[in-house]
Structure 1
């Protein structure tokens, strides 16, 4: 199951969190765990304007094209729902290989 964690300095009282969770879940996968950490003290590029940082963990490899597409989908949602410009968002994509 993929896991998406979003940290942002946008205050939680300015966000319809349920709507944001649903949009992010739909963008990533039907089976994804999404966690929002809003109102986090965060400086990006030396300013405290709206910004966000995300981590996406997945079991199995994520191709460069999937990475680019997923990053754009998440960035578009954060711009629409949190007013975080794409240049003030960073997504770290990691994949886990399970050995059984």
Structure 2
């Protein structure tokens, strides 16, 4: 069984950093078959392990768990978010890169 370890990014519906502090271990099965229900049209999958998400406080705890259980895993490093610090007064600064057009 394969697993993926990553630190989730915040969703577009969040303004804060909720649910982004923990590391997540998800099971990945590329051989799982998807099928469409003929009556309702919903998509189903043969493998239910794709619904399991384990959370860990640190990356090392997630790796230790995967090694202890004998899982093949890949670790996706967390990217630091880039912050643009701006204020309203910068719109009127003398060192503005683009001049006002009106």
Fold shared per TM-score above 0.5: no
More RCO (CA 8 Å, sep 6+): 1
- The structure whose residues are more often helix, as a share, is 1
Relative to the length of structure 1, the TM-score reads 0.30
Find the structure with the greater CA-based Rg: 2
